[in-house]
Structure 1
C-alpha cells in the first residue's frame, strides 16, 4: 500500500490526482515551479473540495482532513522519501524527460515507483531518462480526475511486473478507479481512438462542411455521446489535443493523426479552449 505520494505539477491533472489521493488518507507532496503556481494549485484543490461539500458529496470534516494531507511546495528535494511519484506536467516530451532525470537523482528508495500521467508519450522514452527503467510506469488519469473513473496503466518493455501490480493497486484499490491495461504505444488505448475522431471533426469544421454547433449536436443527439467532439477538444485543451496528435503522428506517420492546419493556427493564437475563454466556442 502506498502511503507517501509525490505529484509533480499542480495544474488540472496534478491537483486532481493530489485531491483524490488525499481524500483516501495518503500523505501527498505536490511540486510546482513557482510560489505563484503553487498557490494557484492550492486554490484549485480547495475550490474542488468546496464544490464537493456544497453538493453534499463531502463533509466539512472530510474536506479539512483532505487538505491536511496535502503539501504544495517548490522544494523538489522533498520528494526524496516518496514511495510513488506521479509526473503530471505539461504534455511536452522535453519537460517530462527533465522531470524523470531529476527524480532519478532525488528519490532515495531504489524500489520507489516513478509514474507518468502522460496522455501520449511512450513510457519507454521517459524510463530511459533514468537509471531505473524497470521502476517506471504510466498511470494515466482522465480529466477531471475526481469525477472520471478511468485510469490507464501502461507498462514499457522494461517495467517490472511488481511495479505494474503496485500501480494497479494504487489506482484501482486505493483510489477506487477502474483500471485498464495498455501496451506502450503513443496514445495508449483511449487517445489512440479519441484523437483521430477529434481531428476529423476539426477538419470537417475547417472545410466549411458544417458548423461547430451542428457537428457537436450530431454526435450528441445522433450517437448519444455526452459531449460533441469540438466541445470536448475545448475541454481537453487544444494545445493538449495538438500535442497528443503530434506524438501519435510521430509514432505512426499516418495521415489521420496529423494535426489539421486550423488546430495549429488556433494554438499559435492562444485560443486553447475553456482554459483561455475561447476555442471552437466562446466561454465566459
Structure 2
C-alpha cells in the first residue's frame, strides 16, 4: 500500500476528536464525519480551541496553528471520505452499528484503503463479518486522551492481512505513539493485562483482608503504582469498568482468572460510579476525595520479648528495629511475647501451623516491598491486641505501617503475582509479543514497569511460590500458574525469554 496521506475519522465524540488532533499534528490531512447534526462542528470547535491555547501558551506559532487547523476538514457526508487512505471508526460501541458502517465504507472507499475500528471490547472479526474484503479491516484502539496516551493497539483479526497491520504500525509510529500488535482476543492487550489489579483488589475486599483505602495505599506506597485499584475504578467509572470485567470474563468462557466480583453489581445499582457521581469506593466533595485518617502507632512497649524467624528476608533489619525500640530479642519462639515472620504467599494461620508457631502472638511483615517502603503487617484471627500493637509500634519506627487481616500473600504479593501471571498467560497464548506486552502495560496503564519485568524483579520462583501457596490455601483455580511462568522458572531463565519457535 502507498504511504498514508489522508485519514478519515467517523465519529466526532471524545475519542474521535483526539484521533483528529493526533493525526493532524502528525502532518496528515484529516477528514471528519459524524451522522449526528452538529457533532462535527462541535469537534472542530473543540480541537481548534486546543490548538489556539497552544498558541497562547507559546507551544506553537500562529502560522503553525493555522497550518494545523487547515489540515482538518469537516465532512457533510460519508462520500467525502472516498479518497482517504485509512478511515478510523470511533462511533458507539455496538456491533450492529459498526457492521453497518463498515459495509457503507466499503462501498465508498478505494479497494486499497484500510478500515479500522477504535473498538475497546468488540471482536474485530465480528465487526468485519459482513465486509467483502475483511483483510483490510483491523482494530486500532486508542486510549483517552488520545494525544497524550502514547500507545495504540493494532488488532489483527483472523482475516486481517499482514500488509494492513504493517501500514497501521507505520502510521502510528509516524504519529509518535508506540504501536503494539495484539490478536483479536477479549480485552485485546491492555484491558486484558489490566484485569489482575482490579479483580484481585476486589477479591481482597471480599475476603475482608483490608479496607479499600488500605489496598490503594499499599499499591501506591509499597508497590510503586500511581493509583490503586479502587482509585482507578472511581476514576474510570464503575458502571463502565464493571461491564468490561463481565465482558472479558464471559468472552473467555468464564476463565477463573478473570472472575468478576459480586460486590460490583449492587454498587452500580446504587449509582456509586465514582468521581462522576460524587461517590464510589470513596466519597467526594467538590471533586476532592475524603479519606479516613490513618491509625496512629501505639506507644513502644519497652522490654517486650520478640522472636524473629531466622528465615525472614529482613531478619537483621527486624532485629535492629526491635532492639532500637527497646525489645528483647529471644533465641526461641517459646520464650517470646511477640513472633515476627515473613511468609511468601502464606497467611499467618497457615505459616504458624506449618512451623509449629503460636498464632496468638504472631504478626507477619510483608517481605516484598522491603522495609524502606510502606510496611504491611498481617495478623491471624487470634493474634492478641498486645502482640499486634507491639509489632505496630516497633515497625512504625522510621516508616508508615498498615495492618491487614490474614490473607494469603498479604496485599502486594497477591495483586502483583496475579498481574504477572495474567501477563505470562497472554505471552503463552501468543496474543502479543513480550516487548508489546511490556510497553503497552507500562505506557497504557501507567504501571511502574511492564508486568513480566515486575515478575522478574520479584523473582520468577517467588511469583510461582506465591501463586502455589494461594491456590493451596484457597483451592481457587484463578491462582493456577501459567505454563509460561512455570516453564521459565523450571528452566532457570528470565520471564522475558520469548519462545524459541512458534507453531
Shorter-chain TM-score bucket reads: 0.7 to 0.9
* Larger CA deviation: 79-88 vs 55-64: 55-64
Whether the 8 Å contact between 1:91 and 1:240 is mirrored in structure 2 is: no
Whether the 8 Å contact between 1:30 and 1:72 is mirrored in structure 2 is: yes
* Larger CA deviation: 151-160 vs 254-263: 254-263
Aligned to 1:113: 114
Query: CA 1:268–1:54 in 2, change beyond 3 Å: closer, same or farther?
Result: farther
Aligned to 1:195: 195
Aligned to 1:17: 19
Aligned to 2:80: 78
Q: Which has the higher helix share?
A: 1
* Larger CA deviation: 242-251 vs 269-278: 269-278
* Larger CA deviation: 127-136 vs 62-71: 62-71
Give me the whole-angstrom Cα distance separating, in 1, the residues matched to 2:19 and 2:189: 20
Q: Deviation at 1:260?
A: 3.5
* Larger CA deviation: 8-17 vs 222-231: 222-231
Deviations 1:126-169 (A, max 9, x none): 12131110001122222211111111212122111111111111
Query: CA 1:113–1:227 in 2, change beyond 3 Å: closer, same or farther?
Result: same
Aligned to 2:134: 133
* Larger CA deviation: 3-12 vs 235-244: 235-244
Aligned to 1:66: 68
Q: Report which of the two structures shows the higher radius of gyration computed on alpha carbons.
A: 2
Give me the whole-angstrom Cα distance separating, in 2, the residues matched to 1:280 and 1:42: 36
Give me the whole-angstrom Cα distance separating, in 2, the residues matched to 1:79 and 1:232: 38
Q: Deviation at 1:177?
A: 1.0
Query: CA 1:13–1:203 in 2, change beyond 3 Å: closer, same or farther?
Result: farther
Q: Deviation at 1:178?
A: 1.1
Aligned-residue CA RMSD (Å): 2.9
Aligned to 1:148: 149
Query: CA 1:122–1:208 in 2, change beyond 3 Å: closer, same or farther?
Result: same
How many residues get paired? Answer: 282
Structural mapping, 1:265-276, within 5 Å: 265=266, 267=268, 272-273=273-274
* Larger CA deviation: 266-275 vs 135-144: 266-275
TM-score between the two structures when normalised by the length of structure 1: 0.84
Structural mapping, 1:127-276, within 5 Å: 127-173=128-174, 175-202=175-202, 204=204, 210-252=210-252, 253-265=254-266, 267=268, 272-273=273-274
Query: CA 1:41–1:237 in 2, change beyond 3 Å: closer, same or farther?
Result: farther
Query: CA 1:215–1:277 in 2, change beyond 3 Å: closer, same or farther?
Result: same
Query: CA 1:69–1:223 in 2, change beyond 3 Å: closer, same or farther?
Result: same
Query: CA 1:264–1:3 in 2, change beyond 3 Å: closer, same or farther?
Result: farther
Deviations 1:75-124 (A, max 9, x none): 3332222211111223333333333233233x330111011112232221
* Larger CA deviation: 8-17 vs 247-256: 247-256
Higher relative contact order (CA 8 A, sep 6+): 1
Mapped pair 1:29 → 2:59? no
TM-score between the two structures when normalised by the length of structure 2: 0.50
Aligned to 2:434: none
Query: CA 1:201–1:15 in 2, change beyond 3 Å: closer, same or farther?
Result: farther
Aligned to 2:458: none
